[in-house]
Amino acid sequence: MLKTMTFTLMHFCIAFGVAYALTGSLAVGSLLAIVEPLCNSVGFFLHEKIWQRVEHRQPDRQQSSAARWQHRHA
């Protein structure tokens, strides 16, 4: 849990630093430091859900390929 918290803090600091360096605005830097990691977290969550579906389907494809091969060579 500590690793997750320090990674999150690092992400906020990087987002703030980049936005501040590009705009020179503390307000924009602060807003981006809050909004970007939250959007990234939602994107990561959706990405994981999609990959769970992909991984869940792979054994079915392998099994059906093996079944087709056995049927052809029987």
CA–CA dist 36, 47 (Å, integer): 16
Q: Is pTM beyond 0.75 here?
A: no
Cα separation values, 29 from 12, 36, 53, Å: 10, 10, 36
Tens digit of each residue's pLDDT, the chain (74 residues): 888 888 888 989 999 999 999 999 999 999 999 998 888 888 888 999 999 999 988 765 555 666 666 666 66
The full set of domain ranges for the chain reads 2-72
